[in-house]
Amino acid sequence: MTAAWRSTGVARLAAGKANRGETRMPTGASAEGEGRCEECGSGFVRAHSGMAALCAECAHVLYGYPACGHVMVAGRCATCGWDGSRSAYVRGRLEGR
Ligand SMILES: [Zn+2]
Ligand SMILES: [Zn+2]
């Protein structure tokens, strides 16, 4: 139980730091924080996905990782960075096939 609030605090600190260091972005993939999902093509925040190559949504549907509550702000989840994309395969899984 204590671990939950501790990790949230750490995530907040990390997010604050990331915002400050935004001045020099490498071309292509941004720093360590962001990735592009190999399944649905959405951008995502690595810290919020259990997998390096999948967004939190796909990692949840395909591999049973903890679901993100998705707080959609301007077309993207403010928590995990998912943009609402779903591949046909993921959609099929959600429909129970
Ligand atoms: Zn995805
Ligand atoms: Zn999310």
Going from the Cα of 27 to the center of ligand 2, the distance in angstroms, rounded, reads 25
pTM of this prediction?
0.66
Strands (E), 1-97: 34-36, 43-45, 72-73, 76-77
Going from the Cα of 44 to the center of ligand 1, the distance in angstroms, rounded, reads 8
Going from the Cα of 13 to the center of ligand 2, the distance in angstroms, rounded, reads 19
Nearest ligand by distance to the CA of 80: 2
The whole-chain average pLDDT of the chain stands at: 80
Give the domain ranges of the chain: 33-97
What confidence score (pLDDT) does residue 23 get?
A: 45
Specify whether the CB–CB gap between 42 and 55 falls below 8 A: yes
**Confidence check: pLDDT of 14 > 60:** no
Q: How far apart are CA 47 and CA 34, in angstroms?
A: 8
What are 23-36's pLDDT values in tens digits? 444 444 445 689 99
Nearest ligand by distance to the CA of 58: 1
What are 55-77's pLDDT values in tens digits? 999 999 999 999 999 999 999 99
Residue scoring higher pLDDT (27 or 48): 48
